[in-house]
């Protein structure tokens, strides 16, 4: 009997259905691996005229299955041609996003053809309304303030849109952005959310909890093991999306583009293949080899701006601007920086701009990496001169267990920010740079002043004091949060 949620197709027709990655019976096995007649993701077909038919399946036949009376008949390990009796019910099941195949039925009186397609999984861009924001709570510990104050500040901004993850219950890995990514597919007015788990995440951790919560709300799946390579480039802080835009050469990208940081080899290859979105959301690679963490979210942030030609601007770091601002700023004690382990030690603002080696290092980064990034993004995103907003970030050379690993923000990386379109208007969650006396308010901070002066009208800056909880561990608001947005239709 046809399932009620989708109309019967009459050829010639385009027939769409979700990749059947959910687990309706909660037995721990995704539905694609155990096809059943009552699966709610099957799509029913209604051939016209009398049968029987000889059926032929061509195209992505490994990821498209035709069932007869609920049993596999064509594709996905079955033959690609078979006899189909006249009294059987024909349904279609999809095993991967972006899969496309053609089903041809040859009967005694007619030849009928369907195009079978599963929509790709897409990332919702930052101009889309926010549905939920996730952040982790960590209790105070010796030498660590925890994230209680940050959670309270976020709740004041987000209210019921904030979901707090219990850190002690989930390995206390605060970098939710790296652990999982939220993507979705749509068929008609139906939507399926998918939680992609990176090599850094775990199905038993926040990714699995979120997938289960979304499934209870009506349709979600967890896709784990995106890449066995657990290097930083494969984590999801290295997967960003920019809104729809027209590049400088006139190419239109109606779903926007994915932005990934590259160090030479193709990053996130397994993830990009899983999404099946190469045509819908092409990849824009930016060079992150000079960074220690090597993530795209250290170099680009979307700023909603309805008055801009493309509807948005893009923030990138500027080491040269940081040097310029610090040189002109009055000296002040910097209590937050005393324990950063810098050499020489930083205890006053003057220690930053008087360090000639640090200044030379940052100006070299600007010439070698950041100026080319600015030119690339203007060209690729079709932005005018005002479309790139430079946020001051002072970098330093960092070391890890393997030795020298590249540049990290000595000052909090202001580009590691979170743009949110909320019911009351857009906001930008930013890390407080703390370049002022301890009791002074953020508006006395020279970096805060520089950023606020360049923000689009109507975009509210929210400064979060994550210096001890996030910055000293080489992260910021974007690294520590995950956002669920309404997909662009």
157: three-class secondary structure by DSSP: helix
**Per residue of the chain (489 residues), what is the pLDDT tens digit?**
333 333 344 555 899 999 998 877 778 788 899 998 888 889 999 888 888 999 999 999 999 999 999 999 999 999 999 999 988 899 999 999 999 999 999 998 888 999 999 999 999 999 999 999 999 999 998 878 899 999 999 999 999 999 998 887 766 789 999 988 899 999 988 888 888 888 775 555 777 777 777 776 666 666 665 555 567 888 899 999 999 999 999 999 999 999 999 877 777 888 888 888 888 999 999 999 999 999 999 999 999 999 999 999 999 999 999 999 999 999 989 988 877 767 678 889 999 989 999 999 999 999 999 999 999 999 999 999 999 999 999 999 988 777 788 999 999 999 999 999 999 999 999 999 999 998 899 999 999 999 999 999 999 999 999 999 999 989 999 999 999 999 988
pLDDT of residue 202: 59
pLDDT of residue 217: 65
Which residues touch 115 (CB under 8 Å, ≥6 apart)?
12, 13, 14, 15, 100, 101, 102
**Cα 9-14-15 angle, rounded to 5 deg:** 60
pLDDT of residue 211: 74
pLDDT of residue 3: 36
Tell me how far the alpha carbon of residue 151 is from its chain's centroid.
21
Where would I find the H helices in 269-370?
269-275, 319-328, 349-353, 356-365
Which residues touch 405 (CB under 8 Å, ≥6 apart)?
292, 398, 399
Where would I find the H helices in 366-445?
371-381
Domain covering 130-485: architecture: 5-stranded Propeller (3.75)
Stated as kind and residue range, the H or E segment containing 388 is strand 388-392
CATH code matching the domain that covers 13-117, chosen among 1.25.40, 3.30.70, 2.60.40, 3.40.1580: 2.60.40
pTM of the model: 0.91
Domain boundaries, the chain: 13-117, 130-485
pLDDT of residue 145: 86
What is the distance between the alpha carbons of residues 489 and 423, in angstroms, rounded to a whole number?
Answer: 19
C-alpha distances in Å from residue 454, one per residue of 157, 181, 313, 318, 331: 22, 30, 11, 13, 24
pLDDT of residue 474: 92
What is the distance between the alpha carbons of residues 208 and 135, in angstroms, rounded to a whole number?
Answer: 15
Residue 86: both structure tokens together: 């006249």
Strand partners, 433: none
């Amino acid at each position: 009997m046809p399932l009620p949620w989708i109309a019967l197709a009459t050829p010639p027709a385009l027939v769409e259905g979700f990749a059947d990655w959910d687990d309706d019976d909660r037995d721990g096995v995704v539905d694609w691996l155990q096809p059943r007649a009552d699966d709610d993701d099957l799509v029913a077909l209604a051939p016209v005229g009398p049968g029987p038919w000889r059926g032929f399946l061509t195209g992505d036949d490994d990821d498209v299955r035709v069932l007869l009376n609920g049993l596999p008949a064509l594709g996905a390990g079955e033959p690609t041609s078979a006899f189909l009796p006249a009294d059987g019910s024909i349904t279609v099941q999809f095993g991967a996003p972006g899969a496309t195949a053609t089903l041809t039925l040859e009967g005694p009186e007619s030849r009928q053809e369907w195009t079978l397609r599963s929509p790709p999984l897409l990332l919702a861009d930052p101009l889309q309304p926010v549905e939920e924001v996730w952040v982790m709570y960590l209790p105070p510990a010796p030498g660590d303030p925890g994230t209680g104050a940050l959670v309270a500040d976020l709740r004041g901004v987000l209210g019921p849109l904030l979901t707090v993850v219990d850190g002690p219950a989930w390995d206390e890995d605060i970098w939710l952005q790296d652990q999982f990514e939220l993507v979705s597919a749509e068929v008609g007015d139906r939507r399926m959310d998918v939680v992609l788990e990176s090599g850094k995440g775990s199905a038993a951790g926040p990714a699995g909890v979120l997938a289960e919560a979304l499934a209870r709300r009506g349709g979600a799946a967890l896709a784990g093991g995106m890449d066995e390579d657990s290097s930083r480039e494969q984590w999801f802080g290295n997967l960003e999306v920019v809104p729809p835009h027209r590049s400088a050469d006139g190419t239109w990208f109606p779903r926007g583009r994915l932005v990934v940081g590259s160090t030479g080899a193709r990053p996130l290859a397994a993830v990009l293949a899983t999404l099946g979105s190469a045509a819908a959301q092409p990849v824009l690679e930016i060079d992150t080899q000079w960074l220690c963490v090597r993530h795209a979210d250290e170099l680009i942030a979307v700023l909603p701006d309805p008055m801009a030609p493309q509807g948005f601007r893009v923030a990138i770091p500027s080491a040269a601007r940081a040097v310029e601002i610090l040189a002109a700023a009055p000296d002040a004690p910097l209590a937050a920086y005393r324990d950063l382990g810098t050499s020489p030690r930083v205890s006053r603002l003057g220690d930053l701009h008087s360090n000639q080696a640090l200044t030379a290092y940052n100006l070299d980064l600007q010439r070698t990496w950041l100026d080319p990034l600015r030119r690339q993004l203007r060209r690729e995103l079709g932005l005018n001169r005002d479309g790139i907003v430079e946020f001051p970030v002072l970098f330093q050379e960092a070391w890890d267990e393997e030795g020298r690993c590249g540049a990290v923000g000595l000052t909090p990386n202001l580009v590691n920010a979170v743009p949110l379109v909320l019911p009351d208007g857009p906001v930008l969650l930013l890390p407080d740079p703390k370049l002022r006396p301890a009791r002074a308010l953020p508006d006395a901070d020279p970096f805060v002043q520089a950023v606020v002066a360049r923000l689009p009208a109507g975009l509210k800056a929210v400064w979060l004091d994550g210096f001890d909880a996030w910055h000293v561990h080489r992260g910021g608001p974007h690294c520590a949060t995950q956002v669920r947005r309404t997909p662009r239709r």
